[in-house]
């Protein structure tokens, strides 16, 4: 922890993940959410304006106090109530089968041992309920993967995340079942950080 990770990195995330393309992605990923929703890696509330009106509340898991502060305006402008309910998705203080849905946008790359977070999400989702996700990760092209591996250390220092998470394998190894998955290079993004895995996985 330090000045950069506590104060500057959350601002970097709030800035870089807040453009026209990510807004369209958020719309797609949040579509169909309803009831009580768990959001891991809530950040600065950038998904809040994209939540459907069927969402009754969001239980947010987020370790960054700065991120949460940056999201105050979006939270207060939203009709959907938010409870900040923890700071580590790998250890959730909820009973089994608590939530109607879960949401995770560009988070697994930031969590060491992300499989532990997916196991917790699966535990607290009701049977048949879905995790809505978009994550960047391992590219299909060996040339891009080489750049991802070379860039991991620097990216970890700047963005706090790894570039080459094998998102499909992480989901397959978790208790969740992938029911929808689209993988693509995001238009305009550097290919090493821009290979997206977007979809749904059910408990
Ligand atoms: C790249 S940001 C994405 C934020 C937000 N989901 C969005 O789409 O704007 C990754 C977020 O994951 C959070 N994070 C890091 N480790 C975490 C953990 N163990 N549990 C939950 N969230 C975590 C970070 O603080 C950061 O807010």
pLDDT in tens, 109-141: 999 999 999 999 999 999 999 999 999 999 999
* Segment 50-78, tens digit of pLDDT: 999 999 999 999 999 999 999 999 999 99
Ligand 1 pocket residues where CB is under 6 Å = 13, 17, 40-41, 43, 46, 61-64, 67, 88-90, 105-107, 110-111
* Nearest residue by C-alpha to atom 15 in ligand 1: 110
Whether the pTM exceeds 0.95: the reply is: yes
Cβ atoms of 128 and 98 within 8 Å: the answer is no
Quote the pLDDT of residue 1: 66
Whether the per-residue pLDDT at 151 is higher than 70: the answer is: yes
What is the average pLDDT value for the chain, to the nearest integer? 97
Q: Which of 10, 110, 163, 194 to mutate to test the pocket of ligand 1 (most atoms within 8 A of CB)?
A: 110
- Residue 83 has what pLDDT? 98
Model confidence over 9-30: pLDDT tens digits? Answer: 999 999 999 999 999 999 999 9
User: Do the Cβ atoms of 163 and 148 come closer than 8 Å?
Assistant: yes
| pLDDT (mean) for 177-198 | 97
How much is the average pLDDT of 90-117? 98
Q: What is the pLDDT of residues 78-93, one digit of tens each?
A: 999 999 999 999 999 9
**Mean pLDDT on 174-200:** 97
Length of the chain measured in residues:
203
- Sheet with 99-105: list strands edge to edge: 82-86, 55-61, 35-40, 99-105, 125-136, 195-202, 177-185
Note the pLDDT tens digit of each residue in 152-169. Answer: 999 999 999 999 999 999
Residue 2: its pLDDT value, please?
Answer: 87
Please list, residue by residue across 115-143, b when 16 or more beta carbons sit within 10 angstroms of its beta carbon and e when fewer do: bebbbbbbebbbeebbbbbbbbbbbeeee
How would you classify the pairing of strands 82-86 and 55-61?
parallel
Of residues 2 and 79, which shows the higher confidence score?
A: 79
């Amino acid at each position: 922890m330090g000045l950069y990770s506590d104060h500057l990195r959350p601002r970097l995330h709030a800035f870089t993940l807040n453009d026209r393309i990510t807004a369209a992605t958020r719309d797609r990923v949040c579509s169909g959410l309803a009831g009580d929703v768990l959001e891991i890696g809530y950040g600065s509330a950038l998904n809040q304006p994209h939540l459907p009106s069927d969402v009754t509340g969001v239980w947010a898991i987020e370790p960054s106090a700065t991120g949460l502060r940056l999201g105050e305006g979006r939270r207060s402008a939203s009709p959907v109530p938010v409870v900040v309910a923890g700071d580590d998705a790998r250890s959730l203080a909820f009973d089994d089968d608590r939530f109607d849905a879960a949401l995770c946008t560009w988070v697994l790359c930031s969590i060491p041992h992300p499989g532990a977070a997916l196991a917790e999400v699966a535990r607290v989702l009701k049977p048949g309920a879905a995790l809505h996700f978009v994550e960047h990760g391992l590219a299909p092209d060996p040339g891009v993967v080489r750049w991802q591996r070379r860039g991991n250390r620097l990216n970890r220092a700047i963005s706090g995340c790894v570039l080459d998470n094998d998102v499909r394998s992480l989901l397959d190894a978790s208790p969740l079942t992938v029911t929808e998955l689209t993988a693509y290079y995001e238009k305009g993004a550097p290919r090493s950080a821009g290979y997206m895995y977007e979809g749904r996985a059910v408990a």
